[in-house]
Amino acid sequence: MTGPAAGEPTAARAYKDVIAGLDAAASALREADRERAARLAQELVGRQDAMQRAVERAAVSRSVLLLHWERVLEALWTESWLTLRPLPDPPPAPGDLDALDVEVQERAEALLAAVRRRRFGLPGR
């Protein structure tokens, strides 16, 4: 048996070349994974901040809603014919809080204006 001719790769050399290629590919994947993990960690922090702001914003909206509700109940207290009910639960998908806040304020003001007109015997709109 004769050995490999000069310049021909041996089985050991071919094996080492394949392993080196696999090692380089694995290293490249690990580096890409590290970079992606760093980006995702930053994105997670941003989303957690946004979620915290949303929770705080919802709490402010709920507080403002309760203030309007109390004003309306106080205005309607003298209306003995009216059955006052507890505050209803919010809708399952609240939507745009700014728009809902404006709607609550408008409806509360409209109701309070109607109570004032009724109290003073003024005609409706």
Q: Is residue 52 part of a domain?
A: yes
Q: Is residue 26 part of a domain?
A: yes
User: Tens of pLDDT along 80-109?
Assistant: 777 878 887 776 666 788 888 898 899 999
What is the reported pTM? 0.60
User: Tens of pLDDT along 17-60?
Assistant: 999 999 999 999 999 999 999 999 999 999 999 999 989 998 99
Count other Cβ atoms within 10 Å, centred on residue 112: 16
- For the chain, what is the domain count? 1
Q: Is residue 88 part of a domain?
A: yes
> Containing domain of residue 21, as a range?
11-119
CA–CA dist 50, 117 (Å, integer): 44
Q: Is residue 124 part of a domain?
A: no
Q: Which of 109, 115, 110 is nearest to 77 (CA)?
A: 115
Q: Is residue 2 part of a domain?
A: no
Q: Is residue 125 part of a domain?
A: no
DSSP category for residue 81 = T
φ and ψ of 90, to 5 deg: -70, 160
Please give the pLDDT value at position 31.
97
